[in-house]
Copies of this chain bind each other. A is one copy, B any other.
Amino acid sequence: MIQLADARRILAAAEKKAEEIGQPMNVAVVDAGGNLVAFERMENAWLGSIDISQKKAWTSRAFDITTKDLGANSQSGDQFFGIHASNDGKVMIFAGGIPIKKDGKVVGAIGVSGGSGAQDHAVAEAGVAAY
């Protein structure tokens, strides 16, 4: 189970990456139950991404998949098209959410929002690597 100390380490690594690429981010970490453990908004990061980062983290845990990969199956004509309307709008289907695993089992997830999809995903990867 991801606890606060883990989440802080993950946030720090993600934010370090965000600084390197010069894009302020919102970063959220949820535990195995999909419940928020920690969140930080960097200076000048988008306000609209407070919600998105948290929902990306939730989505990645809820379906044990990156939001990037989920999105690739959720466009019009795809097998999961319409999934973004489920769960009271909590499902995000664009890059920035990644499950966090331990011994092959998903124990939580990170969600990043504040830049392009590629930037969000890269920052999330940096966070995951710190666990």
Which one of B3, B7, B39, B83 lies within 8 Å of A52 (CB-CB)? B83
A31 at the interface (CB under 8 A from B): yes
Interface size class of A (residues with CB under 8 A): 35 or more
Which one of B39, B41, B89 lies within 8 Å of A85 (CB-CB)? B89
Is the beta-carbon distance between A47 and B75 smaller than 8 angstroms? no
Which one of B3, B86, B88, B92 lies within 8 Å of A92 (CB-CB)? B86
A43 at the interface (CB under 8 A from B): yes
A122 at the interface (CB under 8 A from B): no
Task: Tell me the bound Cα distance from A46 to B116 in angstroms.
Answer: 27
A22 at the interface (CB under 8 A from B): no
Closest to A67 in B: B82
The 6 A-B pairs at the shortest CB distance, nearest first, are namely A33-B33, A48-B62, A76-B76, A79-B117, A82-B93, A84-B85
